[in-house]
Each structure stands twice: as C-alpha cells, then as structure tokens.
Amino acid sequence: MRISGNPRFASSRLIICMLFVCALAAQAQTDPLPSWNDGAAKQAIIKFVQATTNQASPSYVTPDQRFATFDQDGTTWVEHPMYTEMIFAFERVKDLAPQHPEWRTTEPFKSIIAGNQAAMSKFTGKEFEEIFVATHTGMTTEAFQNIAKDWLSKARDERWHRPYTDLIYQPMIEVMQYLRANGYKTYIVTGGGQDFVRVYAQQVYGILPEEIIGSAVETQYTYNKEGQGILVRSAKGLLNNNFYGKPEDIYLFIGRHPKAAFGNSTGDQQMLEYTQAGEGANLEMIVLHDDGQREFAYGPAHGLPATDIGTFTQALYDEAKSKGWIVISMKNDWKRIFAWEK
Amino acid sequence: MRISGNPRFASSRLIICMLFVCALAAQAQTDPLPSWNDGAAKQAIIKFVQATTNQASPSYVTPDQRFATFDQDGTTWVEHPMYTEMIFAFERVKDLAPQHPEWRTTEPFKSIIAGNQAAMSKFTGKEFEEIFVATHTGMTTEAFQNIAKDWLSKARDERWHRPYTDLIYQPMIEVMQYLRANGYKTYIVTGGGQDFVRVYAQQVYGILPEEIIGSAVETQYTYNKEGQGILVRSAKGLLNNNFYGKPEDIYLFIGRHPKAAFGNSTGDQQMLEYTQAGEGANLEMIVLHDDGQREFAYGPAHGLPATDIGTFTQALYDEAKSKGWIVISMKNDWKRIFAWEK
C-alpha cells in the first residue's frame, strides 16, 4: 500500500489534522471557565457575558456601563479560620511588642503576645479596634504598604503552608479574566482594608489600585522633613465597607450600579441587591462554602456549621433563591479551587 | 515652453505637492495643542508627555502609573462671577420656593428669592450650608442627577448667554485628549460636588463617572416601595475636596501620586505639592486668570484684582515660581479660550 505516500492523500490527512487542531482550539476558546464544572452557575456566567456583549441582544450593555464587583474574603480568597488581614494585625502586634513593654500587661495585646487563643476568640469590637489602630495607623501610606508587603512575602498559612496570596480561588480569577476580556471593569469591594488589598491586587487579581474599594481610615496631609507632601494614616474611620457600606461606597467610587456582583456572606447582601436594582441585565452570585475537604465548610445555611467569619445565613440563602441569585457550590461547581492544585 | 506639459515634470510636481501635503500633515500631527500659543507652557506639556512615554527616556512612566488630575472651577471651566454649582443652588431655591412658603421670611432663602445680591454676597458659611442641604440632599442619587441635568440643559450664563457646559476651556480639553492619547488616565479633582460634575463630565470632558473625585455627602442605603435598594443623599458631609482634601481624596480613589496636576487657586496648592512629591517625572501647572477681555481677571497675584472665588495669592505665585510649577497665562498662552470662539 502506498496510500500514505500519495501526495493527495497526505494532503487530505494534513487538512483533516488541521481541522482537528482548529476544532480543539475552538473548543478551548469556547471554555473561558476551565476550572468550573458544567452546571447552572457556569452557564449563568457565560450566558450573562454573551447576552450583555452582543449588540443584537435585548440585554446588551454599552462598554462604559460594564462593571463587575467582587467581595474578597470568602469570595475570591480563603477567609477561614480567620481573615488574613486580622492574622496580619495579630502578627504585627507581636513584631511591635519589643517597642511596647506595656503591652505585656495590657489587653488585648497581652493575649496576642501570649498566643492565648481562647482569650483572642472573645475579643470585643473595641478590642479589635485597638489592635487595628496600633497596627494600621500613625504611619505614612507608603510605610503601611511596605509593612504589609513585607509581611505578605514572608507569612505562610497554617493549613497549606503557602503565602496567603496563593489562597486565591482559581475559578474566580477565570471569571475576572473572562469579564475583562469582554470589556468589563472588575472591582474588588471588600470589608477589608483598601490599602492592604492594594498591595497585592494588581499582581494576584490583575485589579489596579483605583479599582479597589475597601474600608478606609482618614489620611491627613502634612509635610516631611524635606517639606514634601505626605499622607499619614489617622485612627479615624472614613469608610466601613460592609453591609450597607458596600452600595454606598460603590456609588461613591463608580457612580452607578454594577452589572454583576459576587459575594459569599450577609455582608454582601446589600451589594447584590443594589446590583439587581440597576436597569437592564444583571447577575448576582454568592459562594457557599460547602467543601470542608478541599477548603472549609460553613454557613449556617444549608445545614452547614455556623461561623462568625463570613456568615451565610439561611435567610440569605432563601433571599438568593427567591431573587434569582445564583448560589455557587464550591463542592459541585468548582473543578479545582486553587491554581496550584494537582 | 512645454515644460509644464512634460510628464516627467508633471510627475515631479505631483511628488512635490504630495511631499508638501505630507509635511502639512506631519506638522498637524506634531501640534496636539492647537489652541495654545507657542511658549513655555505649551512646550512644558509636550516635553512632559514625550519624556514620560518614550521608553528610552530616563523619565519614562509605565502606563499603569499615568495619572493626570484637573481641578475644575477656574481650571477647566469658568468660575466667575460665581461657581456654577452655586448658581444652580440659588436657582434651585427659587424653583423650590412655592413648596416652602416659610422661606419667604427666613434667611438665607428670603434674600435668594428676592434676588438681593448685596445680602447674598454676605452669606456666611453656615448659610451656604443651609442652602446646600436644602438643594442637594434628601433625594435619591438618581433624582439629584436628573435635577442637575435638567437645570444644566436650560440654564444660560449672564455674560455669553450660553449653557454653562459651553464655558469649558478648549486648551484644557486639548491637554486632556493629548494625555489620554498617550495612555494617561485623566481625573477631575474638584471642590465642587462629585455628583453634579458626573452629570456632564463624560459628554464635555470625556471623563467617566469613576474618574470624578469631588466633594461628597454620605449616602444612605435604603429601600423604595418596590423593595429595591436605593441611595438617598444625606446632609452629612463625607469628603471636602479642597486644599488638604485633594491629596487625601486622590489617594483614596487612585492610591498613588498623580504624574501631572492642573489647578488655578490656593485650593489646588496641596494637590500640586503632592504630585511633585511623587517619584520620577511630574508636571504641575496653574492657570492665572489675567484676561478680563476674553474671560475674567483676578488674583490677587501679579497685581490682578482680589477675589473670593478662585483666589490665586501672590504667595502661591511665588511658590509656583520657586518649585518650577508652570503658571499658565490665559492671556498669553491661550490662542482661544472657548471652542465656539471665532
């Protein structure tokens, strides 16, 4: 048989081979969310993007109106057993302790230095505020960013022994990239500190400093020894970007309703409501942490264990179902959670 | 003589003609600021843009750091004899007067309704605040924007009898366009109300709502009759975007120093200082209103008449000169002031 040597047949095989490669490429192109299992959540995202970017669609959204907002803790990265920024604050207290001998006998610092977990789990709001003021204020904005950057480069989490910036949910990174590839501006809207998140957001999320909306203290403009203008972080709160604060601050920063919003807890409820209250197409999604094996399991919605960190109540679950918000099951909707998973 | 009929000569003439057209086109390309007279101000802008966008230049600025901030009143549009938003507030008081019979006997409303200019010129800060609260708060964010949009579409200024949005300085529009064409993000940073400016900024400046930093009140998230999330403008101030407030709010919104800043009064001094305090190349420019013929003349810098609206003191003028900030003379640097000028 010389069929293989026949130039016409060889050429046909080449064409078939090329078609196959093209088909594979096309398939790759049509799956912008490879870390998502096929299901209602994945389909809702794709349908939303296609409908709002197709000029022939009744749901078409002009490019200048394409905004998507993402809560951070529990939505785009791990928040259990404790918010990363809180761990930073606790460890910062230990780092600063030698300069504050009085902390060895004063709460809440005493318990942090002693590593007294039982006492730390009972800290009051006022005590958390004291810790925040001691670790997050009194320095220039640049100095704070350097402190946070330095800590993030060295700190490792207890469960996976990885930098905290490795604990980002890969499926959410894909959603951000998919949205941006379709003309959406992606914003982080976090109860965490705006300046803490700005330190790493560009690198890990591809989200620029001006696209981070977070809780913030007032800064005070003054001058350094060289007479240059500097900003010092004061102890006075300016934005509390949780619950009602989220839609209020979204409006302050972008002046309109987002078209899509992603959250995971009761602190995100108002952001999702406000997104849905805008005119035209919109998408609301909420992450349920139901995968204790690969990440953490907490609710108390859906019979999951209760928690104070990222509470997702049954009432919120019911609201989501009644309003057409999509509940993302980490267990069922996410093929993998972290980029470094096997 | 048949030289003109010689195809070779005709072809040469064509080539010369084409070269001439190309030269003209090249000249047009190299003048991104046609409403500016040649001089130090125009050259400073061009030199800054070229140096910061040329990768071979020691002053090169990466695209993600290219931010330019513009004060509005007196820098990008007319602020005399009175800030436009203040005129809006006074006229809004008159529009609302029938619903407030008590205003006919209560200051400061009484004087506004009576058109008592002498009394109005003596209003205290507290009285201005009362006027602001009565005209700018208590409604949803959407309702306020509709009120402002409606007024702007109908109101005409006293001198030129034009819409206020026609009183934009064409040279500054060209600077904004030139900067954006070179990868800069352009922001308005105004002592005026953020939401007032957002109504027209996209249309007149090409600046999006998320690129407007201004004075702002707190909004309160609540629900309308249909249970939808809405934001109501409260009477509580959140951002006072003047003087020290400008660098503080620039940092809140964009998280870094601008590379270029444009102002015209003492209220812009700190913004310019903060811009200069950033690392690397920077440009600071300040508009001097020295053209009473074509616009208004006020200082008191440079021997110009004193004013309370957009004060440019001699001390600021001296600071500008000592720090290398460029003073823009409207009279000498601007070939035309408005787009509709002959």
* Residues composing chain A: 342
Which pLDDT value is given to residue A21?
55
Distance from CA of A57 to the nearest CA of B (A): 25
Q: What is the 3-state secondary structure (H, E, C) of B188-240?
A: EEEEEEHHHHHCCHHHHHCCCHHHEEEEEEEEEEEECCCCCEEEEEEEEEEEC
Calculate mean pLDDT across residues B69-91: 98
Which residues does chain B have within 8 Å of residue A244's beta carbon, measured at their own beta carbons? 220-221
Shortest alpha-carbon distance between residue A254 and chain B (Å): 4
Q: Give pLDDT, residue A30.
A: 80
- H helices then E strands: how many in chain B? 14, 8
Residue B115 has pLDDT above 50, yes or no: yes
Cβ under 8 Å to A: B residues 47-66: 64
Decide: B316 and B269 in contact? Cβ < 8 Å: yes
- Hey, of A218, A231, A268, which one would you mutate to test binding to chain B, going by the most B CBs within 10 A of its CB? A231
Length of chain B: 342
Round to whole Å and give the CA distance between A321 and A330: 17
Mean pLDDT confidence for A301-313 = 96
Determine the pLDDT at residue A198.
98
Whether chain B has a CB inside 8 Å of the CB on A240: the answer is no
Q: Does B141 touch chain A (CB under 8 A)?
A: yes
B220, B221, B243, B279, best to mutate vs chain A, most A CBs in 10 Å = B221
| Predicted confidence (pLDDT) at residue B10 exceeds the cutoff of 90 | no
Whether A193 has its CB under 8 Å from any CB of chain B: the answer is no
Token pair 């993402």 is found at A70
List the single residue in A with minimal CA-CA distance to B195: A255
Burial of B129: CB neighbours in 10 Å, binned 0-12, 13-18, 19+: middle
Q: Mind listing the pLDDT tens digit for each residue in B171-199?
A: 999 999 999 999 999 999 999 999 999 99
What's the pLDDT at A18? 58
How confident is the model over A15-64, as pLDDT tens digits? 555 555 555 555 556 899 999 999 999 999 999 999 999 999 999 999 99
Q: How far is CA B80 from CA A238, A300, B316, in A?
A: 33, 60, 20
Q: Which residue of B has its CA nearest to A208?
A: B64
Q: Which residues of B touch A229 (CB under 8 A)?
A: 247, 270, 273-274, 276-277
**Are B191 and B267 a contacting pair, CB within 8 Å?**
yes
| pLDDT above 70 (res B327) | yes
Residue A8 has pLDDT above 90, yes or no: no
Please tell me the predicted confidence (pLDDT) of residue B17.
Answer: 53
A211, closest residue in chain B (CA to CA): B254
**d(CA A155, nearest CA chain B) in Å:** 24
Of B157 and A9, the structure prediction assigns the larger pLDDT to B157
Q: Which helix (H) or strand (E) holds B288?
A: strand B283-290
- CA–CA separation, B41 and B48 (whole Å): 11
- Range A187-212 average pLDDT: 98
Query: Is 80 exceeded by the pLDDT of residue A200?
Result: yes
Cβ separation A238–B221 shorter than 8 A: no
What pLDDT shows up at residue A15?
58
In this predicted structure, the answer to whether residue B113 has a pLDDT above a threshold of 80 is yes
Residue-wise pLDDT for A115-135, tens only, equals 999 999 899 999 999 999 999
- pLDDT score for B5: 43
Taking each helix axis from N to C end, the angle separating A141-154 and A84-96, rounded to the nearest 10 degrees, works out to: 100
Does the distance separating the beta carbons of A248 and B253 come in below 8 Å? no
Indicate the residue of B208, B228, B251 with minimum beta-carbon distance to A141: B251
**pLDDT of the residue at A192:** 98
Interface contact B240, partner A, CB < 8 A: no
Instruction: Give me the helices (H) in A182-277, please.
Output: 194-198, 201-205, 245-254, 269-276
Identify whether the C-beta of residue B100 lies closer than 8 Å to the C-beta of residue B112.
no
Determine contact: A107 vs chain B, CB below 8 A. Answer: no
pLDDT (average), residues A179-205: 98
* Average pLDDT of chain B to the nearest whole number: 93
Question: What does DSSP say about strands A326-329 and B67-70: parallel, antiparallel, or unpaired?
Answer: unpaired
Q: Which of A64, A216, A256 sits opposite B252 (nearest CB)?
A: A216
Q: For B14-54, what is each residue's pLDDT tens digit?
A: 555 555 555 555 555 679 999 999 999 999 999 999 999 99
Chain A, chain B: beta-carbon pairs less than 8 Å apart: 87
Return the SS3 of B20: helix
- Cβ distance of A270 and B221 shorter than 8 Å: yes
Average pLDDT, chain A: 93
